[in-house]
């Protein structure tokens, strides 16, 4: 039909025009950079083998961190196969990386009986001046503290974090603003499910829209370090109102209601999105009346940015769209909480961000430094036989009674079929305050692998954001930004003092031209990823920002002086005294 | 003071309920069930996906009904129940890309227009909603699909709808249609499961427990104007629909490529194919029988 054709193709028409003049181009450069890594799925209980692509459909992750404090951004990535090592790519400078995970004790984390890695979140958890890491797992997640020798030692049990759960998302934040980081862990499969040794096959969701038979979410409050230097945690999820049993896939923390306390935004598979408002660090309250519960979908990731240049936070939550079968559409919501108590969804019909296929991770960043935050979305569930689709088989159970649906034994075997496979990574250029045009192919981001995690990070400190994609059962891809003229930009690396040392939760607002752009420092966002810990602003036609303001997690508000408004460099800013 | 005397003519409570039940208008009951599903789906599950969808599909159906009634019949419609039911069903069954409203407008137009245009011997052949959804699914696949799990997968909600639905089709004297289709579906699901070594009966039978099938067995295949006359004929048609659907599903399980466009809704397409053929045959037979009646009478009289 004419309407259908027009709706499905109209976003393409403006892409080339929107790209003209930007000089934006990428090239996949993993091999030449020395980055070679392949994610592999785990072997599971034989009773799950027939649907292993469904059960073990996630787990490829990537995090950006300067783990050794040498000023260069490194990459940590995980795999899920039993006995296979995770990888830490140390940035040597000069466009070279070296794999060092084994040397620092971060490789051998997928041991039989202990579960397999799903992602990592980094921060200076023990406040000793270096980066530590929590590798979250289907199994026993591990807290690894970095010692003075640069090696990481397991402190999970001592910290009070030893627990079996099927964790798919995690983030560090400081919800009580005491300077000690707190930990949110999102559960997917039930905690009592060991995917390698099942008690029975009723392990799946019992509802496509409102499932509450997933893994429990946990909130660990950081209590501070003991004499042994190990930080202690206590689990306060139930007491704080964050112990849901939905199938949590993504989470992001930021102050949506502008009351000074970091809130928690959660994306649930087979469920609605949830915004938990932080009530003064003493509890979380589910925000009602925002329209988040109007439509239940398959929330995958939570990415936080500012696409309107109005100083308003935007949240991007990915979902599933597949021709003939399902049109959930992604949500790009702009927070109007402080004044109107609502979230405005920009992702309406025809918006380029709405239909990205079976979408997973996403990250915001100004790829062309034109002063507007763009968006990269990775897609695709399972790529096997190109001409054989599992959708019809899966649809048999789509509306079925929960008792049938939850039993893996009732699911038809994949038998080499694809499920929304071979989907392109989408590069969405922000053309005007949230309007977007898809330019992936023209700029050279054209892989069709099963992307899960994606981050935009300036790996070479040249002021342009590169794209790193972790693929399920596939390679880690590094798309180097080849823009010849980076234009005007400015970046900040924040160091907390009274606040947590990584300034997680700090807000940086840059005023340039007519724009007011707000960015938040996060440690865990998107899907199984942690993005560049620095904030990066493209300035478009402006030479430099007129003003930059930082609101630190402690509550201190700082106006940067002229020396910190000089463009085309990263400024290191230390938290001032109150 | 007067003393109330028992009224010996008043029916006993059980009889009253029965009388009330027997007095219910089947069309009104169908409308009630339709509305009940709509309200509960939206209230409990947000299954509608927005009241604008309902407004557009209802508006389109009613406007088309009025327009074509005036144009074709030269008068206003005598009843709005049919466009109401079509409008509600369309808004529940169609699941387009978020924010798209034109499928509901086009669907409403197609559904109602089919009653006026696609006619044979004075009767329309297709269930209006079925025709509209089938056409839209085939022609607008890039942006449109049908209801699957949007009402959740609660067994309790299923049982409620099935219970009320069974009462309604019983009152409409079409329970046998629903039962024959459902039992045939289950039997053929068992047969299909037996064909493939990895298939399970529960998997193949599972679609019947979903919301789309609830609407299908209570509204579409039992739509009075489009079912054939006679109990046996109706049962045969219900079985035929289940059989065609089973064949399509069998073909899809064997990954026959040209059947792929039918994969999202084999039941809807089976009805769209079988229903009109059966109805046309029925109309033709009835017309033939009517033609023969005076002739036979005359011959008999003369004998």
| CATH number of the domain that residue B257 is part of | 1.10.3430
Name the region of A26 (left: φ>0; alpha: ψ -120 to 50; beta: rest). beta
Measured from the Cβ of residue B170, the count of other Cβ atoms closer than 10 Å reads: 16
DSSP state of A318: -
Radius of gyration, alpha carbons of chain A = 22
Distances (CA, A) of A72 to A34, A67, A374, B273: 15, 9, 23, 65
The residue among A306, A174, A313 whose CA lies nearest residue A257 is A313
Contact between B149 and A208 using a beta-carbon 8 Å cutoff: yes
Contacting residues for A120 by C-beta, under 8 A, at least 6 apart: A61, A63, A76, A78, A86, A133, A134, A135, A136, A530
* SS3 label, residue B99: coil
pLDDT given for residue A17 in this prediction? 61
Measured distance CA(A525)–CA(A302) in Å, rounded: 6
Measured distance CA(A51)–CA(A209) in Å, rounded: 21
Report B:201-240 residues touching A (Cβ under 8 A).
202-204, 206-207, 209-213
Interval B58-110: pLDDT, tens = 999 999 999 999 999 999 999 898 999 999 999 989 999 888 899 999 999 99
Contact between A1 and B139 using a beta-carbon 8 Å cutoff: yes
Closest residue of B to A392, CA-based? B263
Contact between B97 and A347 using a beta-carbon 8 Å cutoff: no
Among candidates B206, B255, B264 on the partner chain, residue whose Cβ is nearest the Cβ of A400: B206
Q: What is the interface pTM, i.e. ipTM, of the complex?
A: 0.89
Q: What are the chain A neighbours of B103 within 8 Å (beta carbons)? A: 3
Contact between A208 and B99 using a beta-carbon 8 Å cutoff: no
Among candidates A347, A350, A399 on the partner chain, residue whose Cβ is nearest the Cβ of B211: A399
- In this structure, what token pair is assigned to residue B163? 């219970």
- Tokens 């089938």 belong to which residue? B134
Measured distance CA(B220)–CA(B86) in Å, rounded: 10
Contact between B152 and A209 using a beta-carbon 8 Å cutoff: yes
- In this structure, what token pair is assigned to residue A318? 């990915």
pLDDT given for residue A4 in this prediction? 46
The bridge status of strand A182-187 relative to strand A142-146 is unpaired
Give the count of Cβ contacts less than 8 A between chain A and B. 154
Contact between A5 and B200 using a beta-carbon 8 Å cutoff: no
Contact between A349 and B144 using a beta-carbon 8 Å cutoff: no
Length of chain B counted residue by residue: 303
| Beta strand ranges found along A199-302 (DSSP E) | 218-225, 231-235, 247-254, 263-269, 274-278, 284-286
Is A407 within 8 Å of A213 (Cβ atoms)?
no
Contact between A411 and B203 using a beta-carbon 8 Å cutoff: yes
Report B:64-103 residues touching A (Cβ under 8 A).
95-100, 102-103
Contact between A3 and B45 using a beta-carbon 8 Å cutoff: no
Q: Is residue B15 part of a domain?
A: no
Interval A243-279: pLDDT, tens = 999 999 999 999 999 999 999 999 999 999 999 999 9
Is B125 within 8 Å of B147 (Cβ atoms)?
no
Contact between A8 and B143 using a beta-carbon 8 Å cutoff: yes
Residue B180 parent element (H or E): helix B175-195
Instruction: Encode A505-540: b = buried (16+ Cβ within 10 Å), e = exposed.
Output: bbbbbbbbeebbbbbbbbbbbbbbbbbbbbbbbbbb
- Tokens 């939570």 belong to which residue? A302
Distances (CA, A) of A336 to A107, A303, A343, A517, A552: 43, 17, 5, 15, 22
Q: What are the chain A neighbours of B143 within 8 Å (beta carbons)? A: 3-4, 7-8, 327
- In this structure, what token pair is assigned to residue A181? 């980081």
Among candidates B100, B141, B260 on the partner chain, residue whose Cβ is nearest the Cβ of A7: B100
The residue among A427, A453, A477, A425 whose CA lies nearest residue A531 is A453
Q: Does B158 touch chain A (CB under 8 A)?
A: yes
Contact between B97 and A396 using a beta-carbon 8 Å cutoff: no
Q: Is residue B19 part of a domain?
A: no
Measured distance CA(B55)–CA(B38) in Å, rounded: 13
Measured distance CA(A353)–CA(A426) in Å, rounded: 9
Is A208 within 8 Å of A268 (Cβ atoms)?
no
Among candidates A209, A295, A399 on the partner chain, residue whose Cβ is nearest the Cβ of B212: A399
Q: Which domain holds residue B229?
A: 25-290
Looking at the complex, report in whole angstroms how far the Cα of residue A382 sits from the nearest Cα belonging to chain B: 18
Length of chain A counted residue by residue: 578
The residue among B290, B286, B275 whose CA lies nearest residue B241 is B275
Name the region of A105 (left: φ>0; alpha: ψ -120 to 50; beta: rest). left
- 3-state DSSP of A458-518: CCCCCCCCEEEEEECCCEEEEEEECCCCCCEEEEEEEECCCCCCCCCCCEEEEEECCEEEE
Q: How many domains does chain B have?
A: 1
Is A372 within 8 Å of A537 (Cβ atoms)?
no
Contact between B213 and A325 using a beta-carbon 8 Å cutoff: no
- In this structure, what token pair is assigned to residue A298? 């398959």
What does each of the 578 residues of chain A score in pLDDT, given as a tens digit?
554 444 444 444 455 666 777 789 999 999 999 999 999 999 999 999 999 999 999 999 999 999 999 999 999 999 999 899 999 999 999 999 999 999 999 999 999 889 999 999 999 999 999 999 999 999 999 999 999 999 999 999 999 999 999 999 999 999 999 999 999 999 999 999 999 999 999 999 999 888 999 999 999 999 999 999 999 999 999 999 999 999 999 999 999 999 999 999 999 999 999 999 999 999 999 999 888 877 768 999 999 999 999 999 999 999 999 999 999 899 999 999 988 899 999 988 788 999 999 999 999 999 999 999 999 999 999 999 999 999 999 999 988 999 999 999 999 999 999 999 999 999 999 998 889 999 999 999 999 999 999 999 999 999 999 999 999 999 999 999 999 889 999 999 999 999 999 999 999 999 999 999 999 999 999 999 999 999 999 999 999 999 999 999 999 999 999 999 999 999 999 999 98
DSSP secondary structure of A354-389: T--SBEEEEEEE-TT-SSS-EEEEEE-SB--EEEEE
Q: What are the chain A neighbours of B185 within 8 Å (beta carbons)? A: none
CA angle A458, A461, A463 (to 5 degrees): 70
Measured distance CA(A228)–CA(B54) in Å, rounded: 64
What does each of the 303 residues of chain B score in pLDDT, given as a tens digit?
334 444 444 455 557 766 766 666 777 777 887 788 788 778 777 778 888 999 999 999 999 999 999 999 999 999 898 999 999 999 989 999 888 899 999 999 999 999 999 998 889 899 999 999 999 999 988 889 998 877 778 777 778 788 888 888 888 889 999 999 999 999 999 999 998 888 899 999 999 998 889 889 988 899 888 889 999 999 999 999 999 999 999 999 999 999 999 999 999 999 999 999 999 999 999 888 777 665 544 333 332
Contact between B145 and A327 using a beta-carbon 8 Å cutoff: yes
Contact between A294 and B46 using a beta-carbon 8 Å cutoff: yes
CA angle B289, B292, B297 (to 5 degrees): 125
Is B38 within 8 Å of B92 (Cβ atoms)?
yes
Contact between A296 and B158 using a beta-carbon 8 Å cutoff: no
Instruction: Tell me the β-bridge partners of A335.
Output: A343
- Helix B26-45 to helix B81-93 angle (10° resolution) is 30
Q: What are the chain A neighbours of B209 within 8 Å (beta carbons)? A: 399-401, 404
Instruction: Tell me the β-bridge partners of A326.
Output: A322
Closest residue of B to A5, CA-based? B142
CA angle B223, B229, B235 (to 5 degrees): 75
- Tokens 């002086």 belong to which residue? A561
Q: What are the chain B neighbours of A327 within 8 Å (beta carbons)? A: 95-98, 143-145
Rounded to the nearest 10 degrees, how much is the dihedral formed by the CA atoms of B118, B119, B124, B130?
-20
Contact between B148 and A326 using a beta-carbon 8 Å cutoff: yes
Among candidates A50, A296, A323 on the partner chain, residue whose Cβ is nearest the Cβ of B142: A323
- In this structure, what token pair is assigned to residue A153? 């030692």
Residue among A6, A49, A327, A411 with most chain B CBs within 10 A, to mutate: A327
pLDDT given for residue B157 in this prediction? 74
DSSP state of A50: G
Contact between B153 and A402 using a beta-carbon 8 Å cutoff: yes
Closest residue of B to A349, CA-based? B99
- Tokens 């029925």 belong to which residue? B282
Is A264 within 8 Å of A253 (Cβ atoms)?
yes
Contact between A395 and B264 using a beta-carbon 8 Å cutoff: yes
Report B:103-122 residues touching A (Cβ under 8 A).
103, 106
DSSP state of B196: S
- Helix B102-117 to helix B128-139 angle (10° resolution) is 130
Q: Does B251 touch chain A (CB under 8 A)?
A: no
């Amino acid at each position: 039909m004419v309407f259908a054709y027009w709706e499905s193709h109209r976003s393409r028409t403006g892409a080339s025009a929107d790209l003209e003049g930007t000089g934006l181009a990428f090239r996949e450069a993993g091999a030449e950079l020395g980055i070679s890594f392949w994610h592999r799925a785990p072997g599971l209980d034989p009773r799950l083998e027939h649907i292993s692509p469904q059960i073990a459909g996630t787990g490829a992750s990537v995090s950006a961190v300067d783990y050794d404090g040498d000023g260069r951004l490194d990459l940590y990535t995980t795999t899920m196969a039993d006995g296979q090592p995770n990888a830490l790519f140390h940035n040597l400078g000069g466009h070279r990386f070296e794999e060092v995970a084994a040397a620092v004790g971060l490789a051998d984390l997928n041991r039989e009986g202990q579960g397999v890695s799903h992602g990592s979140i980094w921060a200076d958890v023990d406040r000793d001046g270096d980066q530590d890491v929590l590798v979250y797992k289907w199994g026993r997640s591990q807290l690894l503290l970095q010692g003075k020798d640069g090696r990481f030692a397991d402190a999970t049990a001592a910290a009070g974090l030893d627990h079996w759960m099927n964790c798919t998302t995690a983030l560090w934040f400081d919800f009580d603003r005491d300077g000690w980081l707190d930990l949110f862990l999102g559960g997917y499969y039930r905690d009592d499910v060991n995917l390698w040794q099942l008690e029975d096959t009723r392990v799946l969701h019992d509802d496509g829209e409102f499932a509450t038979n997933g893994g429990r979410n946990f909130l660990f409050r950081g209590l501070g370090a003991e004499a042994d230097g190990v930080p202690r945690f206590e689990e306060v999820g139930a007491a704080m109102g964050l112990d849901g049993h939905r199938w949590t896939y993504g989470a992001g923390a930021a102050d949506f209601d502008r009351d000074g306390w970091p809130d928690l935004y959660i994306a649930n598979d087979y469920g609605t999105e949830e915004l938990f408002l932080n009530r003064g660090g003493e509890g979380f309250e589910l925000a009602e009346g925002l329209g988040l519960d109007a439509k239940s979908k398959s929330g995958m990731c939570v990415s936080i940015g500012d696409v309107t240049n109005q100083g308003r936070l935007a949240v991007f939550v990915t979902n599933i769209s597949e021709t003939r079968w399902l049109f959930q559409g992604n949500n790009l919501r702009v927070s109007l909480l402080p004044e109107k108590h609502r979230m405005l969804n920009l992702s309406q019909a025809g918006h380029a961000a709405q239909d990205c296929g079976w979408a997973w991770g996403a990250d915001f960043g100004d790829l062309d430094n034109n002063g507007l935050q763009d968006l990269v979305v990775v897609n695709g569930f399972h790529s096997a036989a190109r001409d054989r689709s599992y959708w019809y088989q899966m649809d048999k159970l789509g509306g079925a009674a929960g008792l049938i649906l939850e039993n893996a034994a009732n699911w038809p075997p994949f038998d080499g079929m694809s499920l929304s496979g071979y989907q392109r990574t989408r590069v969405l250029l922000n053309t005007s305050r949230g309007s977007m045009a898809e330019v992936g192919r023209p700029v050279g981001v054209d892989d069709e692998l099963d992307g899960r995690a994606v981050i935009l990070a300036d790996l070479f400190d040249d002021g342009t954001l590169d794209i790193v994609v972790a693929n399920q059962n596939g390679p880690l891809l590094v798309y180097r930004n080849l823009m010849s003229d980076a234009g005007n930009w400015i970046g900040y690396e924040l160091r907390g003092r009274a606040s947590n040392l990584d300034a997680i939760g700090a807000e940086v607002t840059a005023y340039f031209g007519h724009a007011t752009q707000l960015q938040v420092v996060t440690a865990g966002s998107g899907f199984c990823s942690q993005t560049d810990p620095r904030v990066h602003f493209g300035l478009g036609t402006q030479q430099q920002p007129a003003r930059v303001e930082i609101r630190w997690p402690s509550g201190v508000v700082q106006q940067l002086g002229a020396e910190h408004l000089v463009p085309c460099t990263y400024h290191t800013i230390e938290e001032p005294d109150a | 003071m007067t003393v109330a005397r028992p009224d010996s003519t008043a029916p006993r409570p059980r009889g009253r309920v029965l009388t009330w039940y027997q007095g219910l208008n089947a069309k009104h009951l169908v409308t009630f069930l339709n509305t009940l599903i709509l309200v509960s789906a939206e209230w409990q599950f947000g299954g509608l996906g927005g009241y604008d969808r309902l407004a557009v599909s209802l508006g389109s159906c009613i406007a088309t009904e009025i327009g074509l009634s005036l144009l074709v019949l030269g008068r206003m419609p005598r009843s709005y129940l049919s466009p109401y039911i079509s409008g509600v069903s369309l808004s529940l069954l169609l699941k387009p890309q978020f924010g798209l409203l034109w499928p509901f407008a086009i669907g409403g137009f197609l559904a109602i227009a089919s009653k006026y245009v696609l006619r044979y011997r004075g009767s329309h052949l297709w269930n209006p909603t079925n025709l509209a959804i089938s056409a839209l699914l085939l022609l607008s696949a890039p942006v449109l699909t049908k209801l699957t799990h949007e009402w959740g997968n609660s067994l309790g909600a299923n049982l409620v709808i099935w219970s009320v639905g069974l009462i309604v089709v019983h009152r409409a004297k079409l329970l046998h249609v629903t039962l024959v289709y459902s039992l045939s579906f289950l039997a053929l699901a068992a047969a299909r499961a037996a064909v493939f070594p990895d298939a399970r009966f529960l998997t193949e039978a599972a679609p019947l427990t979903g919301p789309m099938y609830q609407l299908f067995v209570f509204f579409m295949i039992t739509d009075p104007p489009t079912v054939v006359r006679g109990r046996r004929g109706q049962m045969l048609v219900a079985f035929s629909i289940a059989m065609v659907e089973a064949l399509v599903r069998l073909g899809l399980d064997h990954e026959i490529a040209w059947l792929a466009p039918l994969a999202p809704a084999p039941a809807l397409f089976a009805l769209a194919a079988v229903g009109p053929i059966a109805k046309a045959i029925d109309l033709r037979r009835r017309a033939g029988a009517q033609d023969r009646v005076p002739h036979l009478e005359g011959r008999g009289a003369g004998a």
